[in-house]
Chain A
């Protein structure tokens, strides 16, 4: 008996390729005029709301550092005084400390023994009395520093003991590594060492002066041959963070720290003369000047300083004053996202409503591939829309703010790029998620309800402080709304006290981690969509 093989054409069916399928879906999308208009509406609404925020944020009152509160009606004067100090990475920083320094030429090292660290706080800031109550801020810092000159905002690396966070190695304002724990006292001194080899700085600490541990090593590119090295003390404003509900307030009071250094030893090429005391960033604050200083007796140095060497964090309590970031301008994203979600839902449900889905599936029976093609088309369209909306918003809103004389929060360019492209990714993932949900539930109203309840409402509840902080943080960890973390403007720094809450623009997850949560939900929804599309009659 012979088996008869049915005839199969060996010619490739041109409809089999994925390319034509993509093209078919793109044609379906592009030829519905309402959807294309809708995408433009998403851009216009997002940018329009951004412009409104920019306009409404230029009439601000700002607190000048130095104690006095000056209410300025127009942003111009306020913004002009707000030219922020930027660190090597382009981020706003504080750089104020008392510096007992000598130039170090070429390679070398500096070692000291720190025997005490104590502090004072001024009870109510602005008063005439410079001496306050004994108080040591947890982030008061005393130690040794090697810095690219005395210019504020220049690169540095430092080994320090802190008021409440043990020994740390810090460099370039934002970086922080922990060393020995525990507080400094005469009975419990700390030895600190910094060595310089070319551009590389290495920090060591020791509890006894003989056994040394390396805390960290860092390359500061472009460090000049001659650097400034020496002892430093600084102490940040003591901030009391009162968190109520999801919001919070910060009250600051000036503090000073005084540290005693002995056993200063050096290797390398140092001048033979004495040390120079400088109040870096002291500016015109007479009160701080009357307190900061140093005293040398024999081998002991007593140094008093105030200020901070740290990144500035946007939000209440920072000495940042008006702190509108480009993320604030992007608040309209969620409205644009709703518009795009409406289109994404209809992109799928219209097929069911009109019965077009049967034609689609006859033409290309690979149902999974149809879903993939639809997801790619709507994802790309949403990505372009979201990115264009973010770029337009940032451009328009920044322009409005600048023309009102208002300085927005400076962002390093990679952050700005991440926020703009991230907005596109956020909108794209939301659109694909919506499409997948629409495939499962087939009704545009139900689809949109699901998208809005899981994606927009959590963002809304957290962002407007409508729920307690813990709930807000959990909502932004586990729901698809975690993806909004891509818009976080400034990172959270554990070494700077502030109100870190969604209300002030800080998300509980890192930007890409939050996006991963959203992508996880999207993949889950796509899997459900593929399953139900295969198993159910169309």
Chain B
């Protein structure tokens, strides 16, 4: 056997997962799509908004990061495909024969996915912030109207930017966990996106304030996107980092369930 000529099994597994993802044409296309759509939707939202002289009621950072709400759908799909493609093609049997430590395989997958999504979303998110910086002043979001120009030098804007990148990576991990648990790609995508989108729609329709608050606190998307808020932070149901923490809990929970099922179920 050849294991002697290689470094540790963990780095071998990482390398194998990297090769599998890298050589799949769909991965690079979807990563590109995630970055481009995040940027395009954000820029479109910027261009379509206006801030009246009486003061804007919109958080400019949140507005210029609108595209994350679509980008996350693509990110979820990337993560789901990374595992469910293996089940779809039967590749999983080869993978687990070659690397019998199942949890290491999942950990390696998670690391590779998170890394790729972090890179792609950093591009999309930074592009969105740049678009906001360039477009929003022309739409009335000026210091004269009470809105500082978007700048990464400002702490809250920096938090919103980095937080959005982390948000997308956590969405990828949540999706990976769910996909590992249910295996079928279509079901996993339906579950992830249903879970993400149902909470904001509920909060928009439910009229009771207490319910609204609770729904916002537990929803992975509503809580996670608290990180994008830069004005009126104290009116949020959670602090920005707590909100991202809720999403992280969802991701950890999904990965745990996925890992347990992977470990104890026949592939």
Contact = CB atoms under 8 A, between A and B. Distances in A.
Interface string B10-38: 00000000000000001000000000000
Interface in B23-73: 26, 41, 44-45, 48-50, 52, 56-58, 63, 66, 69-70, 73
Contacts of A331: 201-202, 205
Contacts of A335: 194, 197-198
Interface in A278-305: none
Interface of A: 49, 52-53, 56-60, 244-245, 322, 324, 328, 331-332, 334-335, 338-339, 341-342, 345-346, 349, 353, 443-449, 452-453, 456-457, 460-461, 463-468, 470-471, 503
15 contacts: A56-B211, A57-B205, A57-B206, A58-B208, A244-B52, A244-B56, A331-B205, A445-B85, A457-B69, A457-B70, A464-B204, A467-B45, A467-B66, A468-B45, A503-B204
Contact of A322 (B63, B194, B207): B207
Given A57-B205, A449-B189, A466-B69, 7 more contacts: A331-B201, A334-B198, A338-B190, A457-B70, A460-B69, A460-B197, A461-B66
B91 interface: no
Contacts of B81: 445
B202 A49 contact: yes
B131 to A, nearest CB: 14
Given A59-B210, A244-B58, A465 B204 contact: yes
A6 B45 CA distance: 67
A324 B190 CA distance: 28
Nearest to A447: B186
B73 A448 contact: no
Given A59-B210, A447-B186, A448-B190, A245 B49 contact: yes
A245 B185 contact: no
A452 B69 contact: no
Given A448-B189, A467-B45, A471-B44, A57 B208 contact: yes
B70 A49 contact: no
A53 B44 contact: no
B136 interface: no
Contacts of B56: 244
Contacts of B44: 467, 471
B49 A59 contact: no
A524 to B, nearest CB: 21
Contacts of B229: none
Interface string B176-207: 00000000111101100110011011111111
B118 interface: no
Contact of A59 (B66, B70, B201, B208): B208
Contact of B190 (A52, A339, A349, A465): A339
Given A53-B202, A456-B197, A464-B201, A342 B190 contact: yes
Contacts of A341: 190
B187 A452 contact: no
Nearest to A471: B48
B200 A60 contact: no
A467 B212 CA distance: 20
B157 interface: no
B27 to A, nearest CB: 12
Contacts of B212: 56
Contacts of A332: 198
Contacts of B204: 463-465, 503
Contact of A452 (B58, B73, B88, B202): B73
B193 A338 contact: yes
Contacts of A503: 204
Interface string B215-235: 000000000000000000000
Contacts of A449: 73-74, 77, 189
Contacts of A448: 185-186, 189-190
A49 B73 contact: no
Contacts of A464: 200-201, 203-204
A444 B186 contact: yes
